[in-house]
Chain A
Amino acid sequence: MTTMNASSGPGMKVYVTVWLGMLGIAAAHVSGGTLLAALIVLSFLEAAIALRYFMHLKYEVPLLFWTLIPALLLAFLMMNQFWADSARMNTFRFP
């Protein structure tokens, strides 16, 4: 019988462990200084943990992850690589 039930989580014990880990990352953020690369890496690590455990992406079918997340990361990459160039458009000479 096919059902489309919402996915179940791993239970409060795992959630509390993940919550403590995320509190640790938040503390690392503050104590880690102002190095941009370190802050970004910690933020993405925290986001990945939140997506995987709190938002249950780990417990959904893999297709959901592959449909949503790579496209979003590609959009971020495009913003990072090409957006700055768009500011130069005013000086471009169009034919």
Chain B
Amino acid sequence: MTHLMEGDVSDSAMTASVLHESPMEPSPFLIPSKKLIMWLFIVADAATFGGLLFGYGFLRFGSPNWPKPFSFSPNIITGLVMTVILLTSSLTMLGGVAAAQEGRRAATMKWLGATALLGVLFAVLHLREWSAMIREGWSLTANPLGGTVLFGALFFSITGLHLLHVISGVIAIIVIAIGFQTKRLTAGHVETTGLYWHFVDLVWMFVFPLLYLLNVH
């Protein structure tokens, strides 16, 4: 079902006049190319995270002495707070996209600023948790509880890749917000960045239950 309406967001590079004069046929997906490229990146990135999580699953169930280092308090409570922060940042991102589509630049800045702050808060909580685990003796090659060392390797690799995505996303949001405020970038750029940010949120929906909840002692 198509709900594309004219004038929702004008992507200046994609006007009818350009299309009429262009020797190229329009996209079959009826979206600007930058948005299509972001979708293709997201699918490729989802396969990357999928590969890591499937690998984690096979190794976890293939290891008889798998450690379960987490407890409900503080680990799961912290993880739940991080989940709420990331979900809320998706909501503020949607607010930013809506404001950008309506051309409200000041409101866009506020929404995107809130999103970036929530992203930073998520990263700080994550690094705080990492720091506590490292102090306990966890590392890529060490397991203070005894048994396989694979938990540390997989936990830090997968959450590290996700954290890298969060930090990259915060930087991208700040750059896009400044660009939109100074009229160098369009609402289409804000929406494309929003797609990426929602994807980062979506990945956490798999990382949290599989890496945290399944490893509660």
Contacts and interface: CB of A to CB of B under 8 A. Distances in A.
Interface of A: 1-9, 11-12, 15-16, 19, 22-23, 26-27, 29-30, 34, 36, 39-40, 42-43, 46-47, 50-51, 54-55, 58-64, 67-68, 71-72, 75-76, 79-80, 83-84, 87
Minimum-distance CB pairs A-B, first 9: A8-B8, A6-B9, A4-B14, A39-B209, A79-B54, A54-B198, A1-B16, A46-B205, A59-B3
B21 to A, nearest CB: 12
A19 B85 CA distance: 11
Contacts of B94: 9, 12, 15, 54
Contact of A5 (B7, B28, B43, B83): B7
Nearest to A27: B80
B145 to A, nearest CB: 18
A39 B213 contact: yes
Interface string B150-181: 00000000000000000000000000000000
24 contacts: A2-B19, A3-B15, A5-B4, A5-B10, A5-B11, A5-B14, A6-B32, A8-B3, A15-B95, A26-B84, A26-B205, A42-B209, A47-B206, A54-B94, A55-B195, A58-B1, A60-B2, A60-B31, A61-B4, A61-B28, A62-B1, A63-B28, A72-B43, A80-B54
Given A29-B208, A47-B205, A5 B50 contact: no
Given A11-B98, A43-B209, A72-B43, A79 B27 contact: no
A29 B7 contact: no
Contact of B95 (A12, A59, A80): A12
Name the prevailing secondary structure of the B interface residues: helix
Given A23-B87, A43-B209, A60-B2, 19 more contacts: A3-B14, A3-B15, A5-B14, A6-B101, A8-B3, A12-B98, A22-B87, A30-B213, A39-B214, A50-B201, A50-B202, A50-B205, A61-B29, A64-B31, A68-B40, A76-B50, A79-B50, A80-B54, A84-B58
